[in-house]
Structure 1
Amino acid sequence: MTVTSGKDMLLRLADGEGGYDTIGGLRTKTFSLASGTVDITHADSPGWRELLPCGGIRQANVSGNGLFIDDDAAERARSLFFSGEHETWQLQIPGFGDLVGAFQITNLDYAGEFRGEASFSLTLASAGEVTFTAAVS
């Protein structure tokens, strides 16, 4: 993965018509992928822990903060949080690829300073399979 601008990472929400809408003006975005393990060490193991290949639960988490740049994006995020529904999200990472899957908003924060802009942050947790498509070089 070559050096790329953080502004080019996009968090997008399915628009219901086969496309995606960028969600707000996110200034920072973070994603993490994790995989649990299943320990299968037994009495005849050679003294090292043994793990079941592909045995653990995989998960993806995405978080970001920034500014809502239109009322529709703010309303969709708020609505999804309060309904608890899963929706298809896409995270585009230039030079790496795209992650697409069902996510649930698990955290939605709003903040603002007296002489500054109002901002928001959100956290998404995967709620099913997440597919990965590598970036084309």
Structure 2
Amino acid sequence: MSLPLGGNDCLLRISDGEESPTFLLVEGVRLSGWTISHDEVEVTDAGDEGWRRLLPGAGLRSLELKLSGLYLGSAGERLLRDCAFSGAAFGCVLTLDHAEAVRGRFIAVKLQMDSAINEEATYAATLRSAGPVVIN
């Protein structure tokens, strides 16, 4: 698995949530960072003589994507905003600049919109996995 370094171009498509989903493009987005986490389950007890012991095969894995871009008002950007407000998980396909894709369900845990007078509107979003993620 190779994810790109920060600041790379990508295509983000998010599902409209319908039974036969349509994936809407979130325009003007760039991947600015990512984090893969794995929290293990510790089961150490007094009989372990001070050695740490983990529960085999248990734990919590997650992928967090940090995105930023110019806000262009696309249908995909409005859907991302609506999902951030509602806290709903959504299907997501993030295609990276070398044709690798990240697929899974995500929640928008942060969406920040900024705009100075006479400047473009920008946004930053943090998406966190809400189920299994496939990178291929």
1:87-126 CA-partner distances (Å, limit 9, x unpaired): 1012234569432221111211111223431101111222
Q: Pairwise mapping of residues 1-137 of structure 1 onto structure 2 (< 5 A)?
A: 1=2, 6-14=7-15, 20-45=23-48, 47-93=50-96, 97-127=100-130, 129-134=131-136
CA-atom RMSD, angstroms?
2.9
4+ residue segments displaced more than 6 Å:
2-5
**Aligned mates of 2:3, 2:83 — CA distance in 1:** 34
**Aligned mates of 1:2, 1:30 — CA distance in 2:** 10
- The residue type paired with residue 64 of structure 1 is L
- The residue type paired with residue 131 of structure 1 is V
Deviation at residue 47 of structure 1 after TM alignment? 4.2
Deviation at residue 38 of structure 1 after TM alignment? 1.0
Q: Size of the alignment, in residue pairs?
A: 133
What percent identity do the matched residue pairs reach?
26
1:51-94 CA-partner distances (Å, limit 9, x unpaired): 12231112222221111334312321222222222110122345
Name the SS for the 1:9 alignment partner: strand
Unaligned runs of 5+ in 1: none
TM-score by length of 2: 0.75
**Aligned mates of 2:59, 2:27 — CA distance in 1:** 34
Evaluate the alpha carbon distance shift between residue 48 and residue 84 of structure 1 in structure 2; reply closer, same or farther with a 3 A threshold: same
